[in-house]
Structure 1
Amino acid sequence: EEAREQAQELLDQIIAAAERRLSPRWLAPEHMRAATWGPHLHRWGSAFPAAPLLPVADSFVPSARVAFCGDYVESAHPGSVEGAVLSGLATARALIALSPRPML
Structure 2
Amino acid sequence: MLVVDGGGSRRCALLGDRLAAIAMERGIVGLIIHGCVRDTEELSRMDIGVLALGKVPLRSRKEGTGAVGEPLRFAGVDWIPGHHVYVDEDGVVLFPQKMEE
TM-score, structure 2 length as denominator? 0.23
Which structure has more RCO (C-alpha within 8 Å, separation ≥ 6)?
A: 2
Larger Rg: 1 or 2? 1
**Structure showing the higher helix proportion among its residues:** 1
**Structure showing the higher strand proportion among its residues:** 2
